[in-house]
């Protein structure tokens, strides 16, 4: 559920910036950065709060490594889509498809690598 919340933040910021005239690449980068911060805080506080992550610095670094790689994949997809068409529905469709794939991969990495219990 929290993942959906950060995706909603991502798409709201993305579309607000597009409507304000920002280029798709810039709108996507800003939206991804804001959504990533929301996701980090939400995952730490709720999704993985039951895990005893004693090294939060390590978790933060790994979280951002995973998210930078994920953001890069989404960014490449949005830039490729923008090269084809600047239609907002097209851009959102491509961004959504890549976001679904990236979200599944990110969650798996969060569980096994980022928020793993230090005692495990």
Closest CA to 80 of 70, 93, 65: 93
Task: Quote the pTM value.
Answer: 0.75
Amino acid 30: pLDDT: 96
Q: What angle do CA 62, 26, 24 make, to 5 degrees?
A: 115
Amino acid 117: pLDDT: 66
Q: pLDDT tens per residue, the chain (120 residues)?
A: 566 788 899 999 999 999 999 999 999 999 999 998 888 888 777 666 666 766 778 888 888 899 899 989 999 999 999 999 999 999 999 999 999 999 899 889 988 888 776 554
């Amino acid at each position: 559920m929290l993942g959906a919340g950060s995706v909603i933040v991502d798409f709201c910021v993305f579309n607000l910036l597009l409507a304000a005239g920002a280029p798709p690449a810039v709108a996507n980068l800003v939206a991804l950065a804001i959504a990533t911060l929301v996701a980090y805080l939400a995952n730490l506080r709720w999704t993985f709060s039951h895990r005893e992550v004693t090294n939060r610095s390590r978790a933060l670094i790994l979280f951002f490594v995973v998210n930078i790689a994920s953001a890069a994949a989404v960014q490449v997809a949005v830039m490729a889509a923008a090269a084809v068409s600047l239609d907002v529905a097209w851009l959102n469709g491509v961004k959504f498809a890549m976001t679904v794939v990236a979200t599944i991969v990110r969650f798996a990495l969060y569980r096994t690598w980022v928020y793993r219990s230090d005692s495990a």
